[in-house]
Structures are given as structure tokens and as C-alpha cells.
Structure 1
Amino acid sequence: MSVGSNAPVIIKRKKVVSGDGHHGGAWKVAYADFVTAMMAFFMLMWLLNATTEKQRKGIADYFSPTIPINRVSGGGDGSFGGDSVFTEDTLAQNGIGATSLRAAPQKAGSVGFKDGDKLRELEQILLGSGGEVLASENALRHFVTRVTDEGLVVELFALEGEPLFVPGSDTPTVLLIELVSVVARVFALATNSVAIEGHSRSHAVVLKQNPVWDRSVERAEIVREMMIETLTPERIDRIVGHADRKPAVSNPMAMRNDRLEVVLLRSDV
């Protein structure tokens, strides 16, 4: 080609693509997740093969602590290892637990529950919200709880066909014995004083002697005697009979008005 030729100059551009340019390092993260998942899968398969049915149930219960394992016990394979929440050997020794037969040592400055939060913790135990169901399903129909300025009030009441006392007497029924036992066990976790108040339904005005005053006081006294089987007598602050002056429902003669109120008093009132 001569020097003076006008032939065009052709320039070729070559695009170089890096091997990691498109995906970057994302594949490494995905691979790590895959390996982790496979490891977890093989561990699960190994556990299923190496454990018994009872052990597998214990593992499942550990991750579902709100499911009651037993009405009284904490469960054999659960976090309590077979002990109830009321087992005194496992309770923290802070001066607020134990029964009168095995009192926990009091620390300097230890006092009873003062605030509503602590009272509500005991209320949740009574209602079985933490997994410990202390009362039978039928018994749970016969009490309600509330936290007031006075303290934790537990109201035990009769229903039609299910009285707290044998009709015409002051002999407690099996139902009342169960209810008082549950309340006493929970109140034993505190050191606060206790008040017991009796209420009675109205009777026909034609009665020559109206027994509602005497009956409400006598029944409160019977509950006091039942409570001190678990609590120390000194913790009972008072017993009161209200007769039929404070009915729970509009019909003054309704069985629902036969009731008792057991109050765990605030220590700062």
C-alpha cells in the first residue's frame, strides 16, 4: 500500500467480562445458608433416631412452656425436672416463699408484696396462666380474682346445685375444700396478711330469725380454720361477716350471693 492511500483504519474493541462480575459474592451467602440448613436437617434426623418418645416429648415441652404438662406437677421432662412450682427445695430463698411448716429464712429488710405487679403474678398462678393448673376445671368456675387498692381479692362463690357448704349447715363441701386449699398454697408464697369476708344470700322475710349475719361470720371463721392449716395464724388479719348487705347479683336470693372473699392484703395499706 502506498503512503498516500486513503484506506480506512479499522479498530477492534474487545470486551473482557470478569467471571464474578455478574453474580458478585451472593452465591457464597446462598451456599452457606444451604450448608446450615442441611446441618440442621441431619441433626434433626439424628435426634429423632437417638431419642425415645418420652425424651422427644420433653424437648417439645421445653419449647412450649405455656402448655400445661400436668395439673399439679411441672412435668417430668420440662424445665422444672418434675418439680412443681411450689416445691420448696427449688424456690428462691428470698423470704416470701414456703409454708408455715418450712418457712424460708427472712433476709434483712425483707417485706411482703407492696405493688400490684407482684400481686398480679400470684393472680396468674391462681388462674393457671403460667402453665401450672392448680384447680380442676369445675373448681375454676367457682372463683374470680381481682387486684384492688386493698390487695388481691379471691372470690369463692356457689352456683345452683354446687354449694360451698352442705345446705342448712356450716359443713364445707369437697368443692370448698379444694378451693381454699389452692388459695392457701398460693398465699403461702407471700408474707402479707390475709382478710376473710363472708357473704350470704337473702332469705324469705317471713323467717322469724334471719340467720344471714351469723351464717356469714361462721362460714368466714370456718375458712380461717382451713387456711391456718397452711398459713400461720398470725397472718390472718381479720374475719368479717357482711350478711346479705352486698349481693353480687341483682337477685338477693340467688345462690351466687353465697360467697367468701379471701384477700391478700397489700403490706403498705
Structure 2
Amino acid sequence: MATAPQGQAGGSEKKLQPIIIKRVKKNAHGVHGGAWKIAYADFVTAMMAFFLLMWLLGSTAKGDLQGIAAYFNSPLKVAMQGGDGAGNSSSIIPGGGTDLARISGQVKRSDTDADTNRRRDMDAKSRRAQEDAQRIKALQAKIDAVISSNATLNEYRSQIRMDITPDGLQIQIVDEQNRPMFDIGSAIVKPYMRVILREVGAALGGVENRISLAGHTDAAPYGNGERGYSNWELSTDRANASRRELVSAGMPDDKLARVVGLSSMDLLLPDQPRAPQNRRITITVLTREAEERLLGKNFQPVTQQTDVPEVLTGQTPDNRPFEPATIPAPVDAAKGPSAAPEAARP
């Protein structure tokens, strides 16, 4: 029997050896817990609920908020008796509006618009006040220059006083002991007073502001014997006579805001009630604020047509405004021939 060579026999044994595969199993880490996800979800939910509550509080009307507060204060009472709620509203729009494009938040925007308009009005008012102050200062300098350049007016400078007051530029023409603007008990303007008034009227003709004119007397009672005629009527007649002179100088009549007689209620020298300086004519160039305070924002000036056409055409005015001047007969007699030119209007 033949046998295989030894070399071949050894090779077959090697081929028949079993192949062993060793598989190593790696143990994975344990599964982590999901508790943190639950906590995070609770936090997000709470934040969403908080911001939702803030939005609801901001968009809910005041009446609805009061109803909610009343419910939580006495829930049983509201549950038994009922209360105001969304079902009681006459409108499906929150806040009761009628425009679907509008929301409750527009109330706050309207408040903001009101504040903006208020600031705009205040800025405009401040700007107008500054313009008034500049205009009044320029007018004061202009009148001062007119007085300085006019020899006649410069002679009476001591009787012309100018001051800037909260109401505007105040021009006061006062009496002196030996140089009165009017005769005693009379409303006829003296010649030099006429010159002063016409120069002032020419300067005021181009001013945008309105004018307030007031007549004043001293505290001495009117003693010319006319019943019912007093310093009130005398101061008013003198103010009206001064108005005619201002208008005849070219100042528009509708520029006058008021013409009043104050008698002795506003003395220039209260400690000396009978001093001649208390007898004066006050011309005030009003600021816009003083004009609105005095006349209102919707004031429509009424042009007086009684005596202006006669003055401007050179005709003799009606004697009725000058009746007080004819009462003291001795005064007119003492004036002699000069009385006629006084009564005539240029």
C-alpha cells in the first residue's frame, strides 16, 4: 500500500485545523435620564404663559380688568349674580371700536400723538414769544430814534415813557404840572399832544401786533357840575380822542384791540393820587399771548366807522365826543381865540 509522502501529509493537517474567531462585545454606557427635558419644557411653558398674560393685560380694556379683579375678589358673588364680560359688549372688537383695522393699543399711540402735538404747540408758542420780543424791542428803538431825531418830540421826552411789560411795549404819555395834554375837564387834545400821538401812530402803523389804548385821570373828583359825568367818562373820552389822532396818522383802526377809560383806578403814583403824572394816556403794543388772553384766539376785530372817515377826509368831526370839553365855560373863555383851532380836526 502506497503511502503519501510526509510532506504532503503535514500540509493537509495544517489545512484541517479549525479557525477560531473571537468576537469581543463592548458594553455601551447606560441610558441617561430625560428629567432635564421636562424641567426645560416647564420653563418654556411658564415663560410663554407669562408673556401671554402681559399681552392680555396690555390689550384688555380698563372695564374688563376691573371685572376680572372683581371676580377674583368675590368669585362666588360674580358666579351667582353675573357681571360684565365679553358677552355683554355691544361690539366684537376689543375696546368697543368700529374700525376692524384699529386695536386697543392705539389709545396709547393717540396719547403719544397728543404729547407730540402739545410739545409742538409749546415750541411754536415759545418761538412766537421770541419773535414778539424782538419785534417789540425793535419798535422801542424805532420810536426812541424818532423822538431823538424830532426836535419837537425831543422837547417833550420827559413826558414820554416806554417800558417793556409782560403784555408788550407800554408807551405812556403823562401830564406835567405846567404842560397838560388836555385842559382841565376837557377831552380836546393839545397841539403838542397831537404831534406826539401822530408820530407814535405813524410808527405803529406797520406793526403786526394789536394795540390797547387806555385813558387815566388823577384822583381829583370831576367838579364841573355835569350830572352823571365823572372821571370815568372823562378818561374814556380822552382815550377815544387819542385814538382819533393815532388813526389820522395812518394806523389802521382795526389794529386797536380795545379803547378803555380807567379813571383813577390805575394810578402811576399811588402815594400821590392827585399828581399830574397820574393823568396819562397808555398805549400798549400787545404780544400775541396777551392778545389771545385779552380777546381770545378766534377774535374778529370790528372796525369802528363812526369818526374815522371824518378825520381822514379832513371834515369836522361830530361834536358829541367832545361835549365834556364844553362844560367848563370859564376854561373855554380863557382860551379865547385858540379854542377854535383846538376843536377843529386837521
Which TM-score bucket, shorter chain as reference?
Answer: 0.5 to 0.7
Equivalent pairs, count: 159
- Any residues of structure 2 matched to 1:115-194 within 5 Å, and which? 115-128=132-145, 132-133=149-150, 136-194=153-211
Unaligned runs of 5+ in 1: 1-110
CA distance in structure 1 between the aligned counterparts of 2:222 and 2:234, rounded to whole angstroms: 16
CA distance in structure 2 between the aligned counterparts of 1:243 and 1:255, rounded to whole angstroms: 13
- The equivalent residue for 1:247 is 267
- The equivalent residue for 2:236 is 217
- The equivalent residue for 1:96 is none
Could you give the per-residue CA deviations for residues 45-85 of structure 1, whole angstroms, max 9, x where no partner exists?
A: xxxxxxxxxxxxxxxxxxxxxxxxxxxxxxxxxxxxxxxxx
Aligned partners of 1:113 and 1:266 also within 8 Å:
no
Could you give the per-residue CA deviations for residues 100-127 of structure 1, whole angstroms, max 9, x where no partner exists?
A: xxxxxxxxxxx99942122011111212
Could you give the per-residue CA deviations for residues 151-196 of structure 1, whole angstroms, max 9, x where no partner exists?
A: 1110011100100012231110012101101211111131211110
- Any residues of structure 2 matched to 1:69-148 within 5 Å, and which? 114-128=131-145, 132-133=149-150, 136-148=153-165
CA distance in structure 2 between the aligned counterparts of 1:134 and 1:192, rounded to whole angstroms: 28
CA distance in structure 2 between the aligned counterparts of 1:204 and 1:117, rounded to whole angstroms: 41
Aligned partners of 2:182 and 2:188 also within 8 Å:
yes
Q: TM-score scaled to structure 1, two decimals? A: 0.53
CA distance in structure 2 between the aligned counterparts of 1:239 and 1:154, rounded to whole angstroms: 14
Aligned partners of 1:126 and 1:183 also within 8 Å:
yes
Runs of 4+ in 1 over 6 A off after TM superposition: 205-208
2:209 is matched by which residue type in structure 1? N
CA distance in structure 2 between the aligned counterparts of 1:200 and 1:265, rounded to whole angstroms: 22
Query: For 1:144, what is the secondary structure of its paired residue?
Result: strand
Aligned partners of 1:150 and 1:265 also within 8 Å:
yes
Unaligned runs of 5+ in 2: 1-127, 291-346
- The equivalent residue for 1:97 is none
Sort the Cα spacing of 1:189 and 1:147 in 2 relative to 1 into closer, same or farther, 3 A.
same
Aligned partners of 1:156 and 1:260 also within 8 Å:
yes
Q: TM-score scaled to structure 2, two decimals? A: 0.42
Q: Which has the higher contact order (CA 8 A, sep 6+)?
A: 1
Aligned partners of 2:211 and 2:283 also within 8 Å:
yes
Sort the Cα spacing of 1:207 and 1:233 in 2 relative to 1 into closer, same or farther, 3 A.
closer
CA distance in structure 2 between the aligned counterparts of 1:205 and 1:188, rounded to whole angstroms: 34
- The equivalent residue for 2:256 is 236
Same amino acid, percent of matched pairs = 16
For the aligned residue pairs, the C-alpha RMSD in angstroms reads 2.7
Greater fraction of residues in helix: 2
Query: For 2:218, what is the secondary structure of its paired residue?
Result: coil
1:146 is matched by which residue type in structure 2? D
Bigger Rg, structure 1 or 2: 2
- The equivalent residue for 1:256 is 277
Sort the Cα spacing of 1:237 and 1:135 in 2 relative to 1 into closer, same or farther, 3 A.
farther
Verify: 1:266 aligned to 2:283, yes or no.
no
Sort the Cα spacing of 1:196 and 1:129 in 2 relative to 1 into closer, same or farther, 3 A.
closer
Aligned partners of 2:218 and 2:264 also within 8 Å:
yes
